[in-house]
Amino acid sequence: MPLTPIPLPGADLQFDPAFLPEAEAAALLASLTAGVAWEQRNIRLFGQEFPQPRLTAWYGDAEARYTYSNLTWEPRPWTPTLQALRQRVEAAANARFNSVLLNLYRDGRDSMGWHADDEPELGPTPIIASLSLGALRRFRLRARAGLAHPPLSLDLPSGSLLLMRGATQQNWQHALPKTTRLLGPRLNLTFRWVAGQA
């Protein structure tokens, strides 16, 4: 199924809820959960350090260093599985990616706060391709200052692909809120192009 546009002012969103077959998505969830070098780093909020409420990993080309939330990531080399996924996502997005950020949400208590992928090394109009595996979670978007529009909620099932491009990161923030529902793990892979760092 091709990517379908999601109407949203000041954004360019495209979505395929069944990019990967259900069985393949389940197999990838199991293999990546077991085979990825996961970390749980600390972030500083209001002068205190807290562990991130999820597990993370960064893979990519050697030059694809990435900094966000005052954390700098040195890429681990692509695994064969991640390389194959990159090629398929590149074909669907008609774009090139040199890195992938993996987030493992172990249950509904793990989350991602409001943010935009607007770091300088991503460029002014980055293309972010987000692949979801595992438990269905609700993805939220809210307009940034200067754009009056109600928030948007989007359910991301296992095997779905969400593409964010154009001015999306300039005009919108996104989050994956906590939930009290009993959920299994969800793994999210966000492919992106990071400019080389000096």
Whole-angstrom distance, CA of residue 113 vs CA of residue 118: 15
pLDDT score recorded for residue 50: 77
pLDDT score recorded for residue 198: 39
For 78-102, how does the pLDDT look when each residue is reduced to its tens digit (9 = 90+)? 999 999 999 999 999 999 999 999 9
pLDDT tier for residue 11 given thresholds of 50, 70 and 90: very high
C-alpha 126: how far from chain center: 13
For 40-50, how does the pLDDT look when each residue is reduced to its tens digit (9 = 90+)? 887 776 677 77
For 100-117, how does the pLDDT look when each residue is reduced to its tens digit (9 = 90+)? 999 999 999 999 999 999
The rounded percent of the chain whose pLDDT value lies above 70 is: 96
- Dihedral angle, C-alpha 4, 157, 78, 101, nearest 10 °: 90
Q: Are 40 and 52 in contact (CB under 8 A)?
A: yes
Stated pTM of the model: 0.93
**CA distances (Å), origin 98, targets 14, 86, 156, 186:** 20, 9, 24, 23
Closest to 116 in 3D by CA, of 42, 11, 187, 44:
11
Closest to 37 in 3D by CA, of 88, 89, 74, 65:
74
147 or 158, greater pLDDT? 158
For 67-82, how does the pLDDT look when each residue is reduced to its tens digit (9 = 90+)? 876 778 899 999 999 9
Mean pLDDT across 18-37: 97
Whole-angstrom distance, CA of residue 23 vs CA of residue 27: 6
48 or 185, greater pLDDT? 185
Closest to 38 in 3D by CA, of 57, 17, 14:
57
DSSP 197: P
Instruction: Name the packing angle between helices 22-35 and 80-93 (round to 10°).
Output: 130
Whether pLDDT at 131 is above 50: yes
Mean pLDDT across 13-30: 98
Instruction: Set out the domains of the chain in order of their start, with CATH numbers.
Output: 4-37+49-192 (2.60.120.590)
